[in-house]
Amino acid sequence: MSTSLTAQDFFQQVQDGSALLLDVSPAHAYSKAHPAGSYNVPFHRRGWGQEIKRALNGQTPPLGVFADNTVIAEAAKESLTAAGLSVPFTFDRGVKGWDQEGLPVESVKDLTVDELARNLDNYVVVDVREPYELRSGIVPGAINIPIGQLQGRASELDRSKPHAIICASGNRSASAASWLSQQGLEVANVVGGMSLWMGGRHPVERV
C-alpha cells in the first residue's frame, strides 16, 4: 500500500459519512464478503472513473478503493484520479486483509437455484432485469423491478417477508440485494440467476 492513511483512519471517515469506500471487485466477490459500509462498483476499463464522477453528481468526497489485487486497485485509482477525483486511500489485500486489520466485514446471503425452487412459496422473488429480458422467461410469480428503479420503488416491497433477488447471472442482483439489505430488508441473492435457474430445468413462466 502506498498510502499514509491507515485502514482504520479511513474507515472512521466512512463511518462519519465524510468519505466513500468503493469495493471495485466483481459483484460475486462483493456479495460473498465486503467491508461494512462499502459500495460495489466493479472496475472496468471503459471510462469507469468518469461514470463514478457522474454518479457523484458534483460531490467530491474523498474516495477509498478496495480490491483484492494490486493490479486492479492501481488501475481503479488511476481511473478515478484521471477523472479529477481524490483517492487518498487504496487497499489491495481483500477481505482477508480487511479482517486482519480488525475491521468489520458484511455479506449478502446466497441462495442457490435449487434452494429457491424447493422454497418458492416462502420468498417474494424480485427480478431486477430490464423488461425486455423477461421474454426469455421468469421464475413463476416473480415481480419485476429493473435495477435502475430500485431506489424509487423499494417501498413497494413487503418488509415482513424474505425476498429472493434474481437477474440474468447473479451480478446485478448481488448489488441490488446488498443495497436492499442496507435498507433493512431480509434478502438473499440467487447465485447464477436465471442462467442457472433455466440450466437446472426449473419451471419458468413466459410473460
Partner 1 sequence: MIFIPIWDGSHGCASFIVGDDADGRAIVVDPLAAIGADTYILSAAEVGLKIVGVIETHVHADHHSIARELAQKTDLLVSMGHKAPLRDAFNPLHDGDQFDLGGVQVTVWETPGHTPDSISLVVTDKTRSSDPWLVLSGDSLFVGDVGRPDLVDPTPESTERAALDQFHSVHDKILSLPDTTELYPAHYGASACGGLFLSPKPISTVGYERRWNRFAQITDPQAFVTEVLSLLKPPPVDASLIRDHNLGSQQSH
The single residue among 45, 57, 135, 158 that binds partner 1, judged by CB under 8 A, is 45
Active site residue 171: no
3-state secondary structure of 59: coil
Is 49 among the residues that bind partner 1 (CB under 8 A)?
Answer: no
Stretch that binds partner 1, among 40-48, 51-59, 125-133, 155-163 (CB under 8 A): 40-48
Least separation in angstroms between residue 162's CB and partner 1 is: 22
Looking at 5-69, list the stretches that DSSP marks H as alpha helix, in order from N- to C-terminal side.
7-16, 27-32, 48-56
Shortest Å distance, C-beta 67 to partner 1: 9
SS (H, E, C) 163-204: EEEECCCCHHHHHHHHHHHHCCCCEEEECCHHHHHHHCCCCC
Is 69 a binding residue for partner 1 by CB under 8 A? The answer is: yes
Q: What is the dihedral of CA 152, 53, 70, 3, to 10 degrees?
A: -110
Q: Does 25 bind partner 1 (CB under 8 A)?
A: yes
Distance between CA 2 and CA 45 in Å, rounded?
22
Q: By CB under 8 A, is residue 192 in contact with partner 1?
A: yes
Q: Which residues bind partner 1 (CB under 8 A)?
A: 25-29, 42-46, 68-72, 75, 169-171, 191-193, 195-196, 198-199
